Every structure is written in structure tokens, then in C-alpha cells.
Structure 1
Amino acid sequence: MLAAKISGCGLVSRAKSPLASVIFFAVLMFFMLVNSIVSNTSLEPVAFTRKEDSHALRTLEVVRKTSSGVVLLPLPLTVSTQNRIIEVDNEHRDSPASSMSGEKEDGVGKFRRKVQEYGIFKSDELTKKFHGRVLGFFNDGCEVHFFMTWFSTVESFGTRETMAVESVFKSHPNGCLMILSRTMDSVRGYRVLKPLLDRGFKVAAVAPDFPFLVKNTPAEAWFNEMKSGKKDPGGIPLAQNLSNLMRLLVLHKYGGVYLDTDFMVLKSFKGLKNTIGAQSIDGVSKNWTRLNNAVLVFDMNHPLLFKFVEEFALTFDGNKWGHNGPYMVSRVVRRVEGRAGYNFTILPPMAFYPVDWIKIGSLFKAPRDRAGSRWVEGKVQQLKGKTYGVHLWECIYGTGKVANYRSNREV
């Protein structure tokens, strides 16, 4: 069972210290306003900085006063895709939810009895309109096409998720965001999104047609076996793995940018093309050790997406956290990186994952000492020039649980 508190997660909503509240709102304001920050440093191919925890830079107060008045400059992309791959350690090591199996199903039989509860498997009059709705939504007026997935209830689409959506449009006023969700594609879902629509943001919730998306892909047989109850979904919440697959299928079919709903965008993705981000690097070689699939930027029909879908279907394991997600994309890239026909960019952790899941809570609670204060100040300063966004790892406005557990529970 997961601990109630992990790395400060959940402290925001119950912060008792005035200082903690001040720091939280300072950092939060930075997250929401930093979309227009000058970048003087490009992402170098291998030189991922190791000095992030030692720089005592400007204070949070200075960031708050100056961040909204700076002009964004394009960030050159110089990261090579030829970085040597380091052997990834045990798949459960460092996983924020390696023991997350509290709602494990009792095998295939029980799943077969419950299969009708999973609306995602259905194809009805609403979902049959999916393809047409996608094509109609992403018209020529969309600067960047964004996708998110949401498998939970309408009620659980809360403040954090709304802020994540808003952050997309702060950096992309002419962008378009589609939330793939049966629950949000409803009257109640419309009410949740209406404040954003009233501000002129082009966002829509659309019930996906999973049978349509998997058709003629390597995942079609996997999906049919799962739907019929012939395949054991395992102990990991099924919705988590369905989300892992759906993001690949929708990008393969339409292209664009996929974002997790706990990802805060800080600046424009417009210059990114066929990009995936490293979650961690080797301290000595500076080569990436693990990739992550919380942010994916790909053209439609990109060969790497096809390989991801194929690997998902062939090696699916519903009992290992991350096996069909971050570890899966890492396995595939290890095999194809450098091969002809695969053109993609791997960005360093600072691009999408500047703070790992263990430390993210430290940004939203009062530092214990001066060293902690310097770390926060230095980290916030770093975000100004090298970061496209911050993955919050489910750590704020949550229940204290991590690794997309709450937002990906089956409904």
C-alpha cells in the first residue's frame, strides 16, 4: 500500500505554514507566467548540467517581479539522437508506484465479467463520429495540435488538470487541444471546460473510438483479446495502460503533441519535431538512462510510433509498473537509435522533466534549511531558459499518491 505522503505530494492543499503557502504561490505564478522567458543557452548534445543544485541565483521574489515581462526567444535544438544507450536498471527501481496494485483484478474471469464497465472498449454512435470530429477540430487555424487522455470521472478533473490545460494556451494562443475522454465528452464535461472556452481557448473533449484507432495496427489483436477477456490485464490499473497505448495510436494516426494532464507548459512547442524526452541521465557519461512518455511530439505515421505500438502489443505485462510506458519507449529506442529511417530527437531531462518525482514536492513546501532554499532558487532559475514544461508527477492538488494512479483509475 502506498504511503499517504510521498516526497511532499499533497502538501499544497493542506499547507499549514504561511511560508509554505508563500513559496507555493511564488513558484506557481512562475509556472503560469514563465511562458515568455529569454533563453540564452541552447540544449547541448551531451553536456547536461550537473551544477543545478549548487547555484545560488536570484530569489523567487525577483522571478515573480520579472518573469512576465520578458520576451521569448527561440531555443535552438542541438541534441543528438546518437547518444549511447545505458543499460536501464531493474524496472521497479526508482519507480514511484512499483507497489501500486491495490485494486488488482482476480484474473481473467473477473475481468471478463467486468468488461462492459470499461466504456473505452465500446464503439457506438458517439465514438463512430470520432475521426470526423478530429479532422474538423484540427483545422488550418491550429498552430500546434495537442492531445491529452482522461480515463477518470468528470468530477476528478480538478484544479491541477485545468491549470495544465490553461498552460497550453498561455504558450500557444492559437493552439488546439483535444482531450480524449468518454466521461469528459458530456454535458458535465462541457461545464468543466466552459470557463476555458469562454476565454477563447480551442479545447474539446472527444470520446475516442478505440476499435477504430487500433484497426490495422500491431495492437489490434491485443485489443481484441483484452476486450474478449482472453488476456489478463494484470494488477496495474488497466486505464493506465490504455492511456499508454492510446497516446501512441492517436499520434500515429494524426500526429501532434501528447501531454499528460499533470504537465505544465512553460513555453512554445512550435519548434519541436519528432521529439521524446529523457527522464534521467548517467552522471558520468551524460548519456540518457531512461526515457519517458509523458510528453511525445511526432509526425503522423512516424516509424518510431509504429515500433512503440508493436512493442506494447508484443510485450504487454499488466503487473509491472511502467513496463508498457516509460520502460517500453526506452527499450524500443535502445534498439533503433542511430538506425537509418528513424529521425528523432532526444532532449535532456531539463526539457520536460527538470525535477524528478522524488524531489518535485520540495518545490511546494517550505525549505528546511538554507541549502533547501538555494536548491529551490536555483531550480526555478534553471526553468527560465532550458525547460519547455514541468511534469508534476501527480504531486500537487492530489491525494498524496503518485505515478498517475488517481487520474488513471478505471471508471
Structure 2
Amino acid sequence: MSTKKMSQKKFDYRLLSRTAKNPIFSTISFAAIFFLIYADSIVSNLSITNPFDLKSNEIIDPHETQKTQETALEFETTFNSTVPSISTQEKVVEEEDSETQDPLIPPDNASKDERLMWFRRKLPELEILQSNKLSQKFHGRVLEFLNHGCTVQFYMTWFSTAQSFGKRELLAVDTLFKVHPQGCLMIISNTMDTRRGYRILKPIIDRGFKILAITPDLPFLVKNTPAEAWLEELKSGRKDPGNIPLFNNLSNLIRLAMLYKYGGIYLDTDFIILKDFSGLRNSVGAQSMDPATNTWNRLNGAVMIFDINHPLLIDFMQEFASTFNGNKWGFNGPYLVSRVIERVGNTPGYNITILPPKAFYAVDWFKIKGLLKKPENEADSQWVEHKLAELNNGETYALHLWNKRSRELKIEEGSVMARLILDHCVICEHIYDS
């Protein structure tokens, strides 16, 4: 046996002999080895089956992890599968899809001073009054969107939550694209320009229609208009917003500014579209007429059609800024349109067309519920047929649903409204539960 082998053997023997003579050391050594092997097994199993959150020091349920990963993948796939020709919308990503209620509803029975104090506290929450990273892309996104062969360009506004953009509103969008398949629709909305909003509009997008929900840049929209100083005063907390939710009046202003900057057609979200709008120019609709004189006595701004930079829109914004009253419903909206056109509507070069009530308001708000009811007898059925013939005679471009009055009513099968929608829809879903 070589010296090297003998030395190694002697070393092994001494170690074994020493441990054998020391049972305590032997037990501790065995326990330590066992613990290391077992601990390594535990760590290995944890790393494979249960990811470890270093921030919270918690073991994450693998099923929850898989669910989260699947949800993220599903959103990424869905959100980026938008209209191929509209690349900007694919890039709109929101970190959180939280739904918050309108922060602009003032406290009840507050005095003007109390309301101003409340409003100043709320100002930091009102992102719509400021420009931010997303809203600063507004103008570029608009130009990109409108550069895709729009036969006619429509605008809607929506400042409630995306969740409240319901089936009734989707019917308006659906019928719009049935009549204008090559048209473009922009929904001016910070709440719809989100993941939730995208999912709501996806049935429309998937059919190739050109629709874009877009966060507005209000300071940009009113820049170099009479409303610019009004907005600055509001942002400074010196302008009383009134007791009507401010978003209602911001919608009135934004529709005017959009039409002035880009031209096109503004439309409320509670219309059923029946006829092509592309032949209309510089027009608003009368809501009611004086039967004795056959002249209008009230106009409405729920539909407005204007060329880009039309001077009447400057008059509208001047009136909005100089007479703003946040305490009277309609004062800064339909009544404003009536006041201004009555005063300056005949100005040479304005070339304004006032369309009769049958164009957009063929059925008044207090009669609208009759159009949602199914016929109960032969007389009802005859009335339905007569009403359908009247509305389809070519003089009615769109029918106002007056959602504020009719939202709680169901559209019943066989009713005038149901049959109109069925004749003028593409997707034709959720008619009777909207």
C-alpha cells in the first residue's frame, strides 16, 4: 500500500474514530446534514410551485399567479388588437382601470361662498381642466384618426364613468355606423379612453368601424377662443361652477370647441340614426315651432353640424364665457344656442340652416315613452305602422330618445323604437334589455 493511500486511510479512520467516540457531535452533525437537505428541498419546492413576494414576504398562491398572468396576457392581446389603421389607440394604456364617480357634484344647499370653498378643495382632482401626458397627445391623435378616409366625422362627449356607458348608448353608435359605414366617430371622454372603455367599444371596433375614445385637452381646445379666459378663471377657483354638475357644462363647451377646431357633426349619445347626415352643413335643429307663425321658438344643441372655424361657434363660446350660469339647467346649452342664433343668426355669411323639429326631435320628451311600448291591440298596431311610416319618410335624420326621461323604460318587442332599431343597426344586440 502506498504512503499516500495509507495517509488518506489513516485520516478517514481518525475522523470516523473521533466522531464515533463523541455521540453528541455525531447527533448534531447528522441533524445539521438532515436540516440542510430538508431545507433545500423546501426552498426548491417553494421556488417551483409558490413564487415568493420579496416586498411583502408572502408566498403567492400559484393559482392566483396564473390567473393574474392570464388576465394580463388577455388584456395585452385584447387592448393591442385594435383597428389596424389607427395605431395611436393601440398605445393608449392606463395603469389602473379604476372607476370613480363624478367629483364635480357640489354639496346640496350650499351658498355661493360655500360652493367656491368646496370647489377650490376639489380642483386638484379635476384632471380634465389640466393638460397631462395623455391629453397633450390629443391634437395629434385627432389628426391621425381623421386621416383615414372619413366620409363624415361625428363627435360625442361622455364624462360619466365608462361603466355607465350602457346598451342604450351603444345602440346610438350601432345605428350611426349602419347609416355611415365609412364615417368616423370620436367619443371625447377621459373615462372611455381606458381599458374598460376599449372593451365596451370592441364589438364596434372588431367590425372595422372607425371609432376612437379620446381624452380631451381642454386648455388646447379653448386656446385663442373667448372661452380661454373663462377656463383660466375657473381653474384659479374664482369662477362659481354652480350647483349643476360641472361636467354637464364642460360638455356644452367642448362640443363647441371641437366643432370650431375640426368641423363636423356633434351628436348626443341618446339618438337612433335613421338617415345619412353627409348632405347637411351649418345646421341646428328646432325643438319646437310656433304653429301660428311657423317659426321656431326653441332650438336644441343635441345635434349641431358646422364647418371648421365657423364664426357662429365663436359667438357661442363668447356667450358661454360671458353669461355662464351653473345654476340653471340648459342655460349654457340649448338655451344658449337659441339666444345666440336669435341675435346673430341672420348675419351675412353665416348661412345657418334651422331644420324643423321632425329632423331630430320628431317626438317630444313627454311623448317618447309611447314609442317604447309594444302594441296591445289592433288600434295600437295601426298606430305603430303609421308612426313608422312617418319617421321613415326621409325627413327625420335621427330620433332623440331623451334618455333623461326614458332611460328607466325598456324597449319592448314590436314597439316603434324596437322596429326602427332593427331596421337601422349592424350588431343589433341588447335591444330589449337596454
Return the structure number with greater relative CO, CA threshold 8 A, min gap 6: 1
TM-score by length of 1: 0.70
Q: Which amino acid aligns with 2:279?
A: G
Match of 1:327 in 2: 335
| Deviation (angstroms), 1:380 | 2.3
Q: What is the deviation of 1:265? A: 0.9
What is the aligned partner in structure 1 of residue 135 from structure 2? 127
Structure 1 residues 261-272: aligned runs within 5 Å: 261-272=269-280
- Residues 1:292 and 2:300 aligned together: yes
Q: Secondary structure at the match of 1:359?
A: helix
1:365 CA drift (Å): 2.1
Q: Do the aligned partners of 1:163 and 1:264 also contact (CA within 8 Å) in 2?
A: yes
Partner of residue 210 from structure 2, selected from 198, 202, 205: 202
Report if the CA contact (8 A) 1:360-1:395 is conserved: no
The 5 Å alignment of 1:248-259 reads 248-259=256-267
What is the match of residue 396 of structure 2?
A: 387
Do the aligned residues in 2 keep the contact of 1:264 with 1:392 (CA within 8 Å)?
A: yes
The corresponding residue for 1:228 is 236
Task: Give the Cα separation in 1 of the matches to 2:328 and 2:380.
Answer: 34
State the alpha-carbon separation in 2 of the partners of residues 306 and 176 from structure 1. Answer: 24
Report the secondary structure of 2:303's partner residue: strand
Aligned: 1:358 with 2:370:
no
Residue 156 of structure 2 corresponds to residue 156 of structure 1: no
| Aligned counterparts, 1:2-401, within 5 A | 106-366=114-374, 375-385=383-393, 386-394=395-403, 398-399=407-408
Matched residue type, 1:389: A
Query: How far apart are the structure 1 equivalents of 2:109 and 2:192?
Result: 25
Q: CA deviation at 1:339?
A: 2.1
The residue type paired with residue 170 of structure 1 is: K
Question: Structure 1 residues 232 and 381, CA, compared in 2 at 3 Å: closer, same or farther?
Answer: same
How far has the Cα of 1:396 moved from its partner? 7.7
Who wins on radius of gyration, i.e. which is larger?
2
What is the CA RMSD across the aligned residues, in angstroms? 2.1
2:169 partner letter: E
Q: Which amino acid aligns with 1:334?
A: E
Structure 1 segments unaligned to the other structure (5+ residues): 1-99, 401-411
Structure 1 SS opposite 2:297:
strand
- C-alpha separation in 2, matches of 1:104 and 1:315: 23
Q: What's the % identity of the aligned pairs?
A: 59
Q: Take 2:338 and 2:377, find their aligned partners in 1: how far apart are those partners?
A: 37
Number of equivalences: 301
Structure 2, unpaired ranges of 5+ = 1-104, 410-434
SS at match of 2:164: coil
Q: Which whole-Å CA distance do the structure 1 matches of 2:201 and 2:231 have between them?
A: 30
Secondary structure of 1:358's partner? helix
Q: CA deviation at 1:292?
A: 0.3
Structure 1 consecutive aligned stretches of length 4 or more whose deviation exceeds 4 Å: 100-106, 366-376
**How far apart, in 2, do the equivalents of 1:251 and 1:207 lie?**
16
Amino acid corresponding to residue 349 of structure 1 in structure 2:
P
Given that 2:289 and 2:298 are in contact with CA atoms closer than 8 Å, whether structure 1 keeps it comes out as yes
- Structure 2 residue identity aligned to 1:380: L
Q: 1:104: how far off?
A: 6.5
Task: Pick the structure with more helix per residue.
Answer: 2
Contact 2:188/2:214 (<8 A) preserved: yes
Normalized against structure 2, the TM-score is what?
0.66
